[in-house]
Amino acid sequence: MDKIAVAGTGYVGLVAGACFAEVGHQVTCVDIDENKVNTMKQGISPIYEDGLEELMQKNYAAGRIDYTTDYKSAYKDADAIFIGVGTPEQPDGSANLSYIATVARQIAESIEKDCLVVVKSTVPVGTNDKVEQFINDFLTNDVKVEVASNPEFLAQGSAVHDNLHADRVIIGTESKWAEELLKGIYAPFNLPIVSVNRRSAEMIKYASNDFLALKISYMNDIANLCELIGADVQDVARGMSFDERIGNKFLNAGIGYGGSCFPKDTKALENIATQNGYELKTVKAAIDINEDQKTKLYKKASKRLITFSGLKVAVLGLTFKPGTDDLREAPSLENVPLLLEQGADIYAYDPVGAENFAKVYPEGKNGRGSITYVSNIEHAIEDANVCFIFTEWGEVKAVTPKRYKELMRTPLVYDGRNIHDIKDMEKAEVEYYSVGRKPVT
């Protein structure tokens, strides 16, 4: 059992903390947000992730996890401090490292024994060299500190599962001591460990995320061409997927990727390349395609309708993907303001994301249009003139073509996630537009 502190209780930090406690470590999670800390002490997770609250409650009751804003007490005698604070995008695309720097400074002031600092946050290559130097520059006690890189690969919506059953754990260290300590912390998980140097570990994270983003943008690019030449992108993807070199994941065309990672990490790597005098053409293409893709269906609908003004517009799904309440970079955030500007009366349904969305677009009149949040999906569709599908929640997939036809004023559906069968829509007489497939008119 190691004594572990975790800085930051977002998707990465809190899930890591709960999972470390679950395998028997003694964990203290630190956050600057007092409300969050109080909520977590009551066994309530500030984020929605399947299975997380159960782990928090079980391990809190067993005395293996605690939450605090008092970083000094948490860091002073920790064997390892994991950093999971945000590294958001700056206007020039580079990563904002100010949260990392603050934690580094807090660690330097606090630690009273030798300690391994492990950066889980996604940071530009070379950052952890600087973090190590920075901590050593500000140390107040005579102790040894090293920094390791241990990038996180969880996907929101399945974060706990991804943590406990990760495909691999990447550890980037510069000494045997750091490598052995980190391997020991992960030993109870029984997962494949890939041990590399610190810079390679940092690069593995960006290279992996950007490859996945590229895969999505590639399929969207192919989808756009499929539409023009009369091919069906879903059949194309199915045909491709049997090739083991390609695999069957991330081949779904749609209205683009969102979330807190792919948009930011593609731009950050492009920025790193530019800083080093290199043009990363593949990643740049992935970014450009994604930007165009997000509003593709809105543009199609704008051509089809005279106006959105005074129309009831059903919006199904607000989060960037199912299984999470996270809205960061979600396509809904690009499309809803466009619809409101055009005077649409939006009826939005999302099983968990509506509350967060309402913080940005409060219920009622919004500019020329209005937005109403409904908890029953059929209330969104009922009497609607047009329907947009932005997130492939199970509840949204479960709406049958027949129900669109029966409930909508005009059965006109724009499906950004290709969840419905074209033949079924044809049969139900729903006018239907999706991505990379023939329209049903």
* CA dist list (Å): 202 to 14, 78, 139, 220, 318: 21, 24, 24, 28, 31
CB 188 within 8 A of CB 168: no
Position among 4, 21, 30, 354 found at the interface with ligand NAD (CB under 6 A): 30
> What minimum distance in Å lies between the beta carbon of 32 and ligand NAD?
4
| Region of residue 93 (left: phi > 0; alpha: psi -120 to 50; beta: else) | left
- Give min distance, CB of 142 to ligand NAD, in A: 24
Rounded CA-CA distance 415/431 in Å is 11
Figure out which of the listed residues 28, 45, 110, 122 binds ligand NAD, where binding follows CB under 6 A: 122
In degrees rounded to 5, what are phi and psi of residue 315? -120, 115
Q: Which is nearer to ligand NAD, 106 or 128 (CB)?
A: 106
The CA-based dihedral angle spanning residues 125, 131, 132, 133, taken in that order and rounded to the nearest 10 degrees: 110
Rounded (10°) angle between helices 198-229 and 262-275: 110
Bridge partners, 26 (sequence order) = 3
Q: How many CA atoms lie within 13 A of 42 on its CB side?
A: 7
**Kind of pairing between the strands at 364-366 and 369-373:** antiparallel
Q: Which of 57, 102, 208, 372 binds ligand NAD (CB under 6 A)?
A: 102
How far apart CA 94 and CA 178 sit, in angstroms, is 28
Binding mask 301-330 for ligand NAD (x = CB under 6 A): ------------------------------
Residue choice 87, 127, 173, 266 for contact with ligand NAD (CB under 6 A): 87
- The question of whether 29 is a catalytic residue gets the answer no
Pick the binder of ligand NAD from 5, 7, 280, 389 (CB under 6 A).
7
Contact call for residue 416 and ligand NAD (CB under 6 A): no
Q: Nearest approach, Cβ of 119 to ligand NAD (angstroms)?
A: 9
User: Is 152 a residue that touches ligand NAD (CB under 6 A)?
Assistant: yes
Contact segment (CB under 6 A) with ligand NAD among 8-16, 129-137, 237-245, 275-283 equals 8-16
Concatenate the DSSP letters of all residues of 196-262 into one string.
E-HHHHHHHHHHHHHHHHHHHHHHHHHHHHHHHHT--HHHHHHHHHTSTTT-SSS---SS---SSSH
Beta bridge partners of 412: 431
Residues 6+ apart with CB under 8 A from 255: 293, 294, 295, 296, 297, 331, 390, 416, 417, 435
Interatomic CA distance for residues 125 and 284, integer angstroms: 18
Specify the residue, 95 or 354, whose C-beta has the smaller distance to ligand NAD. Answer: 95
Asked if 117 is part of the footprint of ligand NAD (rule: CB under 6 A), the reply reads: no
| CB-based closest residue to ligand NAD | 10
Q: List the interface residues with ligand NAD, window 153-192 (CB under 6 A).
A: 154, 156
Taking CB under 6 A as the rule, does residue 84 contact ligand NAD? yes
CB of residue 144 vs ligand NAD: minimum separation in angstroms?
Answer: 22
Q: Give the residue, chosen from 2, 33, 54, 232, that forms a contact with ligand NAD under the rule CB under 6 A.
A: 33
Query: How near is the Cβ of 29 to ligand NAD at its closest, in Å?
Result: 9
Q: Does 271 bind ligand NAD (CB under 6 A)?
A: no
Q: Which is nearer to ligand NAD, 205 or 215 (CB)?
A: 205
**Residues in region 222-261 near ligand NAD by CB under 6 A:** 260-261
Q: Which of 11, 60, 357, 404 is the binder for ligand NAD (CB under 6 A)?
A: 11
With CB under 6 A as the contact rule, the residue among 32, 207, 222, 338 that binds ligand NAD is: 32
Closest distance of CB 162 from ligand NAD, Å: 9
8-state DSSP, 162: H
Q: How far is CA 345 from the centre of its chain?
A: 29
- Compute CA distances 32 → 192, 301, 377, whole Å: 33, 44, 37
How far apart CA 399 and CA 420 sit, in angstroms, is 9
Report the residue from 4, 5, 10, 351 that binds ligand NAD according to the rule CB under 6 A: 10
121 vs 418 by CB, closer to ligand NAD: 121
Residues that bind ligand NAD (CB under 6 A): 7-13, 30-33, 36, 84-87, 99, 102-103, 106, 121-122, 152, 154, 156, 260-261
Q: Which residues are catalytic?
A: 261
